[in-house]
Chains A and B, each alone.
Chain A
Amino acid sequence: MKRSLALVGVFLWLPAALVAASVVLPAGDAIVHAVPGSISVLTAGASEPTSYPGLAYPGFGAVARDPALAAIFDPVEDRLALVTPVGFPRFVELRDSPTAAAFSGSTLFVVSREKGSLTKIASDGERSSVDCSGNPGFISISDGVVFTYDPVRGLIERFDPVSLQSNGTLVIDRFGSDFETDGRSGYLAIPGTGEVISFSLSSLDGRKAMRGGAVPVDVVVERSSGPLSAGTLAIADPASKRIWRVEGGQSGGAAFARGFLRGLIGLGLYAPRPSELPAGVDRIQSAPGGLLAFDSSSGDLYRITSKKSERIATGIEPSGYAWIGERVFYSSGGRLHSVSFAVEK
């Protein structure tokens, strides 16, 4: 089966203008497009979006899958907009400047590196905050448990999602540029040492280092672990213009069992292959149809499948794209564009 790239639609949502910041996010099967001063929502099947007043500087976002909800953050004016497929966005003033955020169900967790705080915003708008041990720049939620990472102090902190009480810390490698979790392990990309560090989320220990190329900057869990293979991590290494793939963390018992099973059915050992690219990419996003890889220096967006990599857009912002179903939506010059991937038989 071969996939071909076809540009199938360009939506003119906003007047052509130079727009500095943009965020594109899914909210269920709707697309949310935020540019300075405006938020537009295009629901499935609609030909025109519905536009609302927006944020002055939409910088980044977070997505809840169920219920369909998108949060867009303005890290300059310290506000957020909660957007659903239907209805007026709800704006929330934040006490602390938001640095990163993640949903657990419909509850939003926001960290502020500047104030060293973690804030929980429930779906009914109720808010609570706690001080973190450090100044976290990253947040990840694994099985409902909240983990934060302070890259300057090298500090992982675990929080109870209900009480927001800290219930564990781990002093680990400093100066990471990304933090991800896969349910079993946490992963840190450390550009300075060229390593990806993993540790156990349950015990908050078991640090392991693996090579992540020359300058690993972003890491994403590309495939969760299954009976025949450990999970796969994709690592963006802009210095070597590759996306490296390595196996994620697994216990000794699980690794032995998978090796035994693969041998039994004649598969041999699993060795993920790296993807080579014409340019260095430094941000990657996993989606059911493959990976989206982004070059922050040029604004080039690539689609990476197991067989090839293709540039699908250029001149876009780091938060200005999202892959939904068979289409990638991206913001360019204040307008929303989409590229679809038709399947050839």
Chain B
Amino acid sequence: MRRLLGTMFLLVAGSLIAAEPRLTSDYEIEIARRQLERAGTSREKIAPNMNLGDIYAARHEQEASESHYRAALQIAGEMVRGARNRADMSSYADAVTYRAAALAKLGLAGDARAAFEEAIRYRSDDPSTWNLYASGMRVAGLPEKAEPAARNAVLLAEERRERGSRPKSILDVAIYRYSLASAVYEQRRADPEIGELLVEVVRALDGPELANVRKRAREQEIFEVFTIVRSDADALVSLLNRALLLLGRHYEARGESVAARAAWERVLRMREDDPVALAGLARLATTPRETSQWHLSSLEANPWSIAQLRQYEAFAESPDAPPPAGSSAGSAIQRAVWLLSRDRAAEASAEIDRIQMAHGERAATIYLKARAAIALGNAAEAESLIARLGDLPEAELLRRRISARSEALASSAEILASLDSPVVDPTSDLLIGLARLVSESRSPAELTRIDALLFQGIVDLDEALIRDGGRTVFASGTIDGTPFRFSSPVAFQGDLSDGEHRLEFRLAGIAGSTLLLEPLGLTP
């Protein structure tokens, strides 16, 4: 059977790269579009379509991504029929493999598996077909089925390499080992086999046999990590980047911070704005300022990556996270997340609007808008935004947030019905729950009832704004550890000390995490 490894190689590399969050640039899209325009044959059209599908998927542009995968699927289907009409079984096996890869990208795991099984009826001797099978199963979310296919790819490629160690066969073995390491990582992140495989990959890519390929990469100043590569030099650069990124994550999972940092720092020496390496270094940073700075660098490198945004989100919750400054898209995103984590949803929403005005709407901004809408109690707007996130995992996360919030509201409404005025020594949880009900309840009866409720509790007043002997003016304080403020500074009769007093008040609402109280009287 005639082998078409050249073409297959493109998809092999494409699949391996698709496993990592990646930088996608308009430049990359432009290159792939030009490839598509220049493509004359069906076979030439497959690669750029898959490439564009991957690029748009990485940018969370589902519709555009699926349309390119579907185009690849349709072309592959035509190739399948054409090859069989010509009784060209080698081309048939290729076409079935392309079809399987497109099905996997579309998330049709069962159909993809059946198509890969059809391909290996003809190509069980071909490591690239096994590797594509493995990649397809990983893309389809079935790493346990990817691993044995990847092992077959490595086994067969090593046999080929033993018959002659040309740069191409060395590169092939490295690609298949990376693919196997990825499949294992997705199941057992700390498995030592991952480190062994990836160290071998890096060693092979650094080895003397590939010196000429490295030289070509340097001469051509290749630094972009493409989804589908077109030359050995492209493949070497992309593979080294991906292998080091995965090695860093593996070491991180094993708690080997020094080794993880070394892997990511090497990535940054090759490409200083690699967002995944930057995010990795952020996770390993030891001070809040350093962590924030690495996150900022990562978000500046790829402001539209929800994965990276969410990594910063986790850090932003920490009280030590410093307020972000700067005017780049990355720092604006960081600021919006930081504001959301401090219950300053209105300010966050305004920040997101500014980002969208400047850079257009992205999945990342839709996600943040939805978070702000939830925080502001606008469930309908949040639902409509979430629907636009399609099947991204973040959509489900946001739905859970809405549901948790409405459960909390329902619980507060139930508690409200059971309260008698005055409520003495309310807890901060009760006050926050009722205050949110003030902001979000659509029931006039509930609002009237909250308005009528009197509360009496011990408050810790902040320093008086004015103290003139006859009266003392206070603006804010804490109750049961939760900050509150009055809608405007209030003058109380007498010369009152700062600190603890019993306050009688009504609940006016909540701004961020600060309760709004309407004071009625103060006793020492």
Given contacts A21-B110, A75-B113, A152-B155, contact A297 B92 (CB under 8 A): yes
Q: What residues of B have a CB within 8 angstroms of the CB of A241 in the complex?
A: 87
Contact between chains at B114 and A238 (CB < 8 Å): no
Shortest beta-carbon distance from B55 to chain A in Å: 27
Interface of A is mostly: loop
Given contacts A215-B89, A238-B87, A238-B89, contact A152 B114 (CB under 8 A): no
Q: What residues of A have a CB within 8 angstroms of the CB of B122 in the complex?
A: 177, 191, 215, 217
Contact between chains at B84 and A56 (CB < 8 Å): no
Contact between chains at A239 and B111 (CB < 8 Å): no
A298 and B118 CA atoms in complex are apart in Å by 13
Contact between chains at B110 and A114 (CB < 8 Å): no
Given contacts A152-B152, A191-B122, contact A21 B111 (CB under 8 A): yes
Contact between chains at B124 and A175 (CB < 8 Å): yes
A97 and B121 CA atoms in complex are apart in Å by 18
Contact between chains at A280 and B152 (CB < 8 Å): no
Given contacts A20-B111, A76-B110, contact A174 B87 (CB under 8 A): no
Q: What residues of B have a CB within 8 angstroms of the CB of A20 in the complex?
A: 108, 110-111
Q: Which of A140-185 contact B (CB under 8 A)?
A: 151-152, 174-178
Q: CB of A258 within 8 A of chain B?
A: no
User: Which of B142-150, B297-305, B362-370, B462-470 is the contact stretch?
Assistant: B142-150
CB-based closest 5 A-B pairs? A57-B110, A297-B84, A175-B125, A114-B148, A177-B121
Given contacts A20-B108, A297-B84, contact A174 B125 (CB under 8 A): yes
A243 and B108 CA atoms in complex are apart in Å by 33
Q: CB of B233 within 8 A of chain A?
A: no
* Contact for A114 among B89, B109, B144, CB less than 8 A: B144
Q: What residues of B have a CB within 8 angstroms of the CB of A214 in the complex?
A: 87, 89
Q: CB of B400 within 8 A of chain A?
A: no
Q: CB of B81 within 8 A of chain A?
A: yes
Q: What residues of B have a CB within 8 angstroms of the CB of A21 in the complex?
A: 110-111, 114
Contact between chains at A280 and B87 (CB < 8 Å): yes
- One digit per residue, 1 when the CB lies within 8 angstroms of any chain A CB and 0 when it does not, for chain B 122-155 equals 1011000000000000000010110111001001
Q: Which of A268-305 contact B (CB under 8 A)?
A: 279-280, 282, 295-298
Shortest beta-carbon distance from A22 to chain B in Å: 11
Q: Which of A61-98 contact B (CB under 8 A)?
A: 75-76, 97
- One digit per residue, 1 when the CB lies within 8 angstroms of any chain A CB and 0 when it does not, for chain B 146-175 equals 011100100110000000000000000000
* Contact for A192 among B80, B125, B145, CB less than 8 A: B125
Given contacts A20-B110, A97-B144, A115-B148, contact A152 B84 (CB under 8 A): no
Shortest beta-carbon distance from B70 to chain A in Å: 14
A97 and B145 CA atoms in complex are apart in Å by 8
A-B contact pairs, 20 of them (CB 8 A): A56-B110, A57-B109, A59-B113, A75-B113, A76-B109, A76-B113, A76-B142, A97-B145, A114-B149, A135-B152, A152-B155, A176-B124, A177-B124, A191-B1, A215-B122, A238-B84, A238-B87, A238-B92, A297-B84, A297-B92
Further 15 A-B residue pairs, CB within 8 A, beyond A214-B87, A238-B92, A298-B81: A21-B110, A36-B110, A76-B110, A97-B145, A113-B148, A114-B145, A152-B156, A174-B125, A175-B124, A191-B1, A192-B1, A215-B122, A238-B89, A280-B84, A297-B80
